[in-house]
Amino acid sequence: MRAPLALASALLLAAGALPAVAQELRIIAFGDSVTEGYGDTSVLHDGYPGRLQRWLRQRGYDASVANEGVGGETTAEALSRVDSVLEQGGDYFLLMEGTNDISGRIGIETITAHLNELAARAEEAGFVAVHASTIPRIPDAPVDADNARTSALAASIRNLGEVRGRAVADVFSLFEALPNLFDDYYYYSPDEYDPVGHPNSAGYTELAGLMLETMLALLETPQLQLVAPAVPVTTGVVTTFGVVVSGEFEHLEWDFGDGGWAASDAPLDLEVEHVFLTSGDYVVSVRAETAEGGIAEDQIVVPVTGAAAAWPFRVSLLPLVERGA
């Protein structure tokens, strides 16, 4: 049983075939005791990261998933160690934190800000950051037993993913929809006190399944990256922009931020030339669409210097489209 994933709109595309060759993937699973795997009584005791690694390999990916879960950690504490974790390098950063902040009665806005900072640092280090909401708390939890604040945090994380263009694995919604959740999917030991609740082996299997779905949606969606001009941009001079794509797109659109635009259908022209007429900082963006309707986008800020170009018309010759007034 699966709840719908809260994926960023730019990443919505159905999962497809296996990769033709093994694709090396380095993934960091970062979080607290749920990431660490507390309560997993399976033979391997490796929580969701170990399952995710095995399942990705079964699908043909040369995947390694580093388990960087620390029990009891808050998002503030996570900020103090994340940089050292990111030094190992990698491709994807799976982030699931916040339940210990709920226990400490930290505000939802503060938790969300910390999560955004953690993800932003991962992105600065070259990772694709993926958010995950936290699991529901047990009915006799001393704090937030009705899951009102945990639900609010999940909604805030979904919104954060949408605003920042990051994928979100909505673990809270998945678990909330499971029948007999606390009896069948949560760990219990009469010898251990657990104030929040953790998955058992069946719960970790569900969690890993959702993480796999989230990863496959990212891995099997074509991506693109806008290439910045090789030289400083000045007014009145032809500037070349390029885009690097992985996968197949049917349509490509450019927006140069000054009213100029360009478009291309398959076979795509991956380079385009443009002339800026006035100085300023322009947001140049590119948007591509697959035949199935999948969307990928990228943008950069381009500083343009120089005096206003003395062109007789506010028209760009390259590409040949009329600019806005």
Residues 244 and 223: beta-carbon distance below 8 Å: no
How is residue 265 written in tokens?
């259908």
pLDDT (tens digit, 9 = 90+) per residue, 178-222? 999 999 999 998 888 888 999 999 999 999 999 999 999 888 777
Q: What are phi and psi of 252, to 5 degrees?
A: -135, 135
pLDDT (tens digit, 9 = 90+) per residue, 50-78? 999 999 999 999 999 999 999 999 999 99
On whether the pTM is more than 0.85, the answer is: no
Which top CATH class is 9-219? alpha beta
- DSSP strand E in 78-175: where? 92-96, 128-132, 167-169
Task: Give me the pLDDT at residue 311, please.
Answer: 60
Q: State how beta strands 23-31 and 92-96 pair.
A: parallel
Q: Is the pLDDT of residue 124 over 70?
A: yes
pLDDT (tens digit, 9 = 90+) per residue, 6-55? 332 223 223 334 444 456 899 999 999 999 999 998 988 899 999 999 99
| Residue ranges of domains in the chain | 9-219, 223-318
Is there a common fold for 9-219 and 223-318? Answer: no
Task: Give me the pLDDT at residue 222, please.
Answer: 76
CA distance 255 to 299: 9
pLDDT (tens digit, 9 = 90+) per residue, 127-179? 999 999 999 999 999 999 999 999 999 999 999 999 998 999 999 999 999 99
Q: State how beta strands 280-289 and 167-169 pair.
A: unpaired
**Separation of first and last alpha carbons in the chain:** 53
Q: How many CB atoms lie within 10 A of CB 201?
A: 18
Residues 6+ apart with CB under 8 A from 182: 138, 139, 197
The sign of the torsion formed by the CA atoms of 219, 225, 112, 89 equals positive
Question: What is the CATH topology of the domain spanning 223-318?
Answer: Immunoglobulin-like (2.60.40)
What is the Rg, in whole angstroms, of the alpha carbon atoms belonging to the chain? 23
CA distance 267 to 289: 13
How is residue 311 written in tokens?
């062109």
